Structure 1
């Protein structure tokens, strides 16, 4: 499954908001430095979909806030 994510780093809390069937807004408290926010997004989405972090992969958008993420169910 492929989803579109709008990342919001440096947020006060970690949470996932579902905007549509394949679009999510993910708030993480980590800063976008050295991949820390990306790792936090992967960890948070894996918890949201109740799967191990290895099943979540950033397909496109490693350096931007708009990301395309593959979820391997």
Structure 2
């Protein structure tokens, strides 16, 4: 658990045509599209970097809490 206890849920699409973050609102998780393939954690690293950029945080302030091998992920946020 992160110190601040803040979490963010995301749904990931690996091997997309471009890196992109989409927010639907309505309580739905963020949709994140990354060009990286889900091999050896490459997509997870790409998601972490893109999400951090979107939130204007350092990538090291995000921790993958759930979903290391799935499309639905939960990141903890440390500020």
Tell me how far apart the structure 2 counterparts of residues 16 and 29 of structure 1 sit (CA, whole Å).
12
Equivalent pair of 1:3/1:22 in contact (CA under 8 Å)? no
Tell me how far apart the structure 1 counterparts of residues 42 and 59 of structure 2 sit (CA, whole Å).
14
Q: What's the TM-score once normalised by structure 2's chain length?
A: 0.85
- Give runs of ≥4 in structure 1 deviating > 3 Å: none
The gaps in structure 2 that reach 5 residues or longer are 1-5
Tell me how far apart the structure 2 counterparts of residues 33 and 46 of structure 1 sit (CA, whole Å).
21
The gaps in structure 1 that reach 5 residues or longer are none
Q: What's the TM-score once normalised by structure 1's chain length?
A: 0.92
Name the one with the larger strand percent.
1
Larger Rg: 2
Size of the alignment, in residue pairs? 73
Tell me how far apart the structure 2 counterparts of residues 19 and 5 of structure 1 sit (CA, whole Å).
11
